Structure 1
Amino acid sequence: MKLDPDARAAADLLKELLPLPIHRMGLAGAREFFGGRATEGTPPSVHEVSDHVVPRVDAEIPVRLYRPGPGSGLPVLVYLHGGGWTLGGIDRVDALCRTLASRARCLVVSVGYRLAPEHKFPTPPHDCHAALAWVASHAAELGADARRIAIGGDSAGANLATAVCLLARDRGGPRPVFQLLAYPAMEYAVRRPSWTEYADGPLLTSDDVVWFWEQYLRDEADRANPLAVPATAPSLRGLPPAFVITAEYDPIRDDGEHFARRLREDGVECAAKRYPGVFHGFFPQVGVFARADEAVADAAGHLRRAFGTARP
């Protein structure tokens, strides 16, 4: 496994620190281990950061807004963090959201959707859909352009981003203009080459992936629901353009790349790029992994083109 030097150092540290594979740590153990581990270093500065709540009938969903500069009518990226639907939160993608806001010259709204297994499917995608609708309906006071809202996420967050796009397509409401999908979890444990070649990680194992799905889904019937497992959708036609990021040494690498092909086959504009030398979870590690900085720069470029703000 030819990991980049920074990725190799991180993988070696994980071997020392991670007492067991995630699926053997249990929910409490995994949350304790990962809860305090945000991106290292000093967070990039932005013009303004503010916290808000999205009201739902049975909850208030926290969101954090990152503003790259003054002014109004800014495009927006609604960002959904990863963590297998069970771990993580707004704080863990803080540096990433700050960097995306600055480089894509857009507002970023990071969503603290409710986590499984306390809140299994379909609660998380509906929380995220509500956040998208809230951004659109409050665009004027947020200084946002309701006609230019993208959605994105990493891992489980990328799964939720596409679920929101399917909800918007099929049930109405604001429709994102673009989806940013970093190593998306789009199919349930399909044994593609990367699933077996990198079954033991680094960081994420194939058994971990199955464990995360078990925390999220209510029963086997959910495996056939496109809002839970987007690869089961009969058609992806009508979804917004996408940029799919994958990591070379990731058990769900082929999952994401297969989904990118499905999008293109169904007439959706989709760019995809595999980043060599890194493993699952690298995307939010801006300032830590060189490939993360490269991927974020690429993502920002795609976002600017989708928003119509790319410089000639």
Structure 2
Amino acid sequence: MTEYRQYAVPHPEWIDFPNNLPPGTRHGVQMNRERKDISPDPALDIFEFTIKARDFYNIRLRAYRRKGRSDLPLFLYMHGGGFMTGSLETDDRSCRVLATEVDVCILSIEYQLAPEHQFPVGFENCWDVLKWCASTAAKEKMSIDLSRGFIVGGTSAGANFTAGLAHRYRDEGLAPRITGLIFWAGSWCHPDVRPAHLKPRILSVDEIDDAPGLTKTSIEYFWKKYGAPKDDLRYSPLLHEEWKGVAKKAYFAICGWDPRRDEAIVFADILRDNGLEVEDRIYAGLPHGFWTTCPELPVSKAWEDDAVEKIKWALLQSSKVS
């Protein structure tokens, strides 16, 4: 969208990244597939376990909750990494902050990655976990109560999964209903299959190829490694024609200096038009997933504060009748 081009003007600390960062700022945090032992947290119960996928693969999950808490709402979370990198460690910091500040159980998924496990393996791993979360076994394992709230969300590739999963969950008539969706720096359509009526509104993917972290060039690289058909609804869920009833609320954290920016703005409007309560924030001049790359910057702390606030908002009873 031409009216949003000003959001791509780089934030002063990100011009000539990383040379203009404040002295001593930790940066260059790279996504990888590492697996570490859980570092104890005095405020939290953090534990890992596995569940069986349909192909008998053991999907590893990590749960976070305040010590001594039970019957909590659930936030099912999927990390980013272009479908081919990332791990339970990628957003461990964010999950700890959210679990400390919000009375919710967070469940993070270690789904299988491309190119070893190409499309649709990662998506279907997450689908198997989503269905399991609605089971009695999940309630007992994590001491959750989905009647108090059931949020599904993710970052980047995880946000892509979130949209398709929520649509399928609604279409299959599963219960309890998903109450909230969280989209952080998401993407929902291959550029080549943008719907004709939306293409004039989705310009950033053609125009932004100079940002740290994600560019038009790297989008194509990740897509090829993932191996998804461009128009498959599990990869390009923006092609779904309607979204009524997929959830009650949705929140979008949108990076202004990100080729996926306009997709998020358009998708947020689509969900509004389909009756969801939607809130969003555009982080001007900041690139895709900036809070992971430089977690100690003030702008990253602001994102963290917003994340806490919006998870709390998503857990509040919707004011709309649906």
Is the Cα contact below 8 Å between 2:160 and 2:186 reproduced in 1?
Answer: yes
Aligned equivalent of 1:269: 277
Matches within 5 A, 1:1-312: 1-5=9-13, 7-8=14-15, 11-12=18-19, 34-35=31-32, 46-58=43-55, 59-137=57-135, 138-147=138-147, 148-174=149-175, 175-189=177-191, 192-218=202-228, 222-240=229-247, 241-284=249-292, 287-308=295-316
Is the Cα contact below 8 Å between 1:47 and 1:67 reproduced in 2?
Answer: yes
Q: Cα–Cα, structure 1 residues 309 and 45, in superposed 2: closer, same or farther, change >3 Å?
A: farther
CA distance, structure 2, for counterparts of residue 256 and residue 35 of structure 1: 25
Q: Cα–Cα, structure 1 residues 66 and 206, in superposed 2: closer, same or farther, change >3 Å?
A: same
CA distance, structure 1, for counterparts of residue 187 and residue 205 of structure 2: 12
Alpha-carbon offset, residue 304 of structure 1: 1.6
Alpha-carbon offset, residue 50 of structure 1: 0.3
Is the Cα contact below 8 Å between 2:17 and 2:212 reproduced in 1?
Answer: no
TM superposition score normalised by structure 2: 0.80
Cα deviation digits, residues 69-92 of structure 1 (max 9, x gap): 312111111110000111111111
CA distance, structure 2, for counterparts of residue 8 and residue 110 of structure 1: 33
Q: Secondary structure at the match of 2:70?
A: coil
CA distance, structure 2, for counterparts of residue 4 and residue 78 of structure 1: 34
Is the Cα contact below 8 Å between 1:197 and 1:251 reproduced in 2?
Answer: yes
Is the Cα contact below 8 Å between 2:31 and 2:90 reproduced in 1?
Answer: no
Alpha-carbon offset, residue 51 of structure 1: 0.5
Q: More displaced, 259-268 or 279-288? A: 279-288
Q: Which amino acid is 1:144 matched to?
A: I
CA distance, structure 1, for counterparts of residue 164 and residue 204 of structure 2: 24
**What is the aligned-residue identity percentage?**
27
Aligned equivalent of 2:26: none
Q: Cα–Cα, structure 1 residues 215 and 130, in superposed 2: closer, same or farther, change >3 Å?
A: same
Is the Cα contact below 8 Å between 1:154 and 1:283 reproduced in 2?
Answer: no
CA distance, structure 2, for counterparts of residue 293 and residue 10 of structure 1: 19
Give the aligned CA root-mean-square deviation in angstroms.
2.7
Cα deviation digits, residues 260-295 of structure 1 (max 9, x gap): 111112222211110123111224458423222222
Q: More displaced, 292-301 or 105-114? A: 292-301
Q: Secondary structure at the match of 1:91?
A: coil
Structure 1 unaligned spans of 5+: 15-32
Q: Which amino acid is 1:50 matched to?
A: F
Q: Secondary structure at the match of 2:190?
A: coil
Cα deviation digits, residues 126-159 of structure 1 (max 9, x gap): 2112212223321133111122221111111001
Q: Which amino acid is 2:180 matched to?
A: F
Q: Cα–Cα, structure 1 residues 113 and 289, in superposed 2: closer, same or farther, change >3 Å?
A: same
Q: More displaced, 301-310 or 271-280? A: 301-310
Q: Secondary structure at the match of 1:224?
A: coil
Structure 2 unaligned spans of 5+: 1-8, 22-29
Alpha-carbon offset, residue 98 of structure 1: 0.6
TM superposition score normalised by structure 1: 0.83
Q: Secondary structure at the match of 1:92?
A: coil
Is the Cα contact below 8 Å between 1:285 and 1:292 reproduced in 2?
Answer: no
Alpha-carbon offset, residue 13 of structure 1: 9.0
CA distance, structure 2, for counterparts of residue 109 and residue 95 of structure 1: 13
CA distance, structure 2, for counterparts of residue 149 and residue 51 of structure 1: 20
Runs of 4+ in 1 over 4 A off after TM superposition: 7-10, 42-45
Q: Which amino acid is 2:157 matched to?
A: A
Aligned residue-pair number: 285
